[in-house]
Amino acid sequence: MWKTILRRLILMIPQVIILSLLIFVLAKMMPGDPFTGLIDPSTDPARLEELRQAAGFYDPWYVQYLRWINNALHGDFGISYMYKYDVTTVIGQRIGNTVRLSIISVILTYALAIPLGLYAGRYQNSWFDKTVVVYNFISFAVPTFVLALLMVYVFGFKLGWFPTSGSVSINAVPGTIGYFMSQMYHVILPAIVQALLGTAVTIQYLRSEVIDAKQMDYVRTARSKGVPTGKVFNRHIFRNASLPIASILGYEFTGLIAGSVMIEQIFSYPGIGNLFISSINQRDYSVITALILLFGLATLIGTLLSDIIMSIVDPRIRVQ
């Protein structure tokens, strides 16, 4: 399996190159430049041209790309024109918040989806199954921003149970238990929103697999031999039904990292999704290109992780 993983990593190299090229070209096609609107309007236009010349904005696109990719390989994505810091520093200050949000969201998603999917499939057409199906329809239909705004209004403003912005209290002391608890307190509401909307696909996968597994010959054989229903369900049906869920675990985590843009905006949560939107608004190309490249890499890594997890769950399956 290690040879296969190494081969997959090697195959990711041309994918990353193509991805970086597309990102760079599309970023350069955006209207304006990092100096647009970020400098005092009274600044001499000649001075703006000097800054653009110094930044290499008028070099051929391939020269700019090679310069950018060479610097990126050394961990240098340039300077953020908006924050006046290294891009790696700006992203580094935010990415921990997004990873924390994604991890907790995945945990809540599976904690809710697995029992609902299993029991809905086991007791097909029961009132419980019908309730879960209705819940799934609602989860698919409700837009993210609608549920997020509703949760902010009810549990943030009306009830005051959760904070509505930030990632930690301003009076929390870093490195203490209180600081950690404050971080968890701020992340729990946006994580619940992501989990509630993210359970639909997992529940549907698991429910369908359980229903299909109940019709398999090995299940019928086990039951004909007098094996208790609970034992058949736990040892055979659940194991086989969990394979599709394991296969999408890597996508689930990396997808939440890349898809946290709207949640972080609504909750004013200082993660990389929030940073991405503000960078687009301010034409901060250095941050934009670095973040999109990060999202693309996360997707590729998620694909690899899903294949690895799949092969671990079922030894018969090996990444081809």
Residue 313: the pLDDT is 63
pLDDT reported for residue 24 = 80
Is the pLDDT assigned to residue 192 strictly greater than 80?
A: yes
* pLDDT for res 207: 82
Please give the pLDDT value at position 36.
57
User: How crowded is the C-beta side of 31, counted as CA atoms within 13 Å?
Assistant: 2
The two three-digit tokens of residue 247, written as one number: 């296969």
Average pLDDT over residues 303-307: 73
Cβ contacts of 102-108, under 8 Å, gap ≥ 24 = 102/253, 102/256, 102/257, 102/260, 103/253, 104/184, 104/187, 104/188, 104/191, 105/191, 105/194, 105/195, 105/198, 105/256, 106/249, 106/252, 106/253, 106/256, 108/191, 108/192, 108/194, 108/195
Q: What is the pLDDT of residues 33-75, one digit of tens each?
A: 666 545 555 666 677 677 777 767 777 777 888 887 888 888 7
**Helix-helix angle 285-313:249-258, to 10 degrees:** 170
**pLDDT over 60 (residue 320):** no
Beta carbons within 10 angstroms of residue 11's beta carbon:
11
| CA 142 from centre of chain | 19
Evaluate if residue 318 carries a pLDDT over 60: no
The confidence score (pLDDT) of residue 312 equals 67
pLDDT > 50? residue 170: yes
As a whole number, the mean pLDDT across the chain is: 77
pLDDT reported for residue 29: 73
Q: Of the spans 56-60, 126-130, 234-238, which averages the highest pLDDT?
A: 126-130
Is the predicted pLDDT of residue 234 greater than 70, yes or no? no
Answer yes or no: is pLDDT of 149 > 80.
yes
**Taking 80 as the threshold, does the pLDDT of residue 196 lie above it?**
yes
The amino acid present at 106, given as its one-letter code, is: V
Integer CA distances (angstroms), 293 to 19, 147, 225, 273, 288, in order: 7, 29, 55, 13, 9
Residue 255 makes CB contacts below 8 A (sequence gap 6+) with 299, 302
Q: What is the pLDDT of residue 297?
A: 81
Could you give the CA distance from residue 14 to residue 174 in angstroms, rounded to a whole number? 41
Percent of the chain with pLDDT over 70: 75
Written as six digits, the tokens of 142 are 């409700």
- Containing 45, the helix (H) or strand (E) segment is helix 45-54
Gap between the Cα atoms of 98 and 262, Å rounded: 12
| Phi, then psi, of 318 in degrees rounded to 5 | -130, 145
pLDDT of residue 254: 67
Closest CA to 194 of 244, 249, 151, 162: 151
pLDDT reported for residue 33: 61
Specify the DSSP class assigned to residue 143: -
C-beta pairs of 82-89 under 8 Å, 24+ apart in sequence: 82/38, 82/278, 82/279, 82/282, 82/284, 82/287, 83/284, 87/286, 87/287, 87/290, 88/290
Q: Which has more pLDDT, 189 or 227?
A: 189
Is residue 266 scored above 80 in pLDDT? yes
The pLDDT confidence band at residue 319, using thresholds 50, 70 and 90, is very low
- Is residue 195 within 8 A of residue 102, CB to CB? The reply is no
Over range 61-90, report the average pLDDT: 80
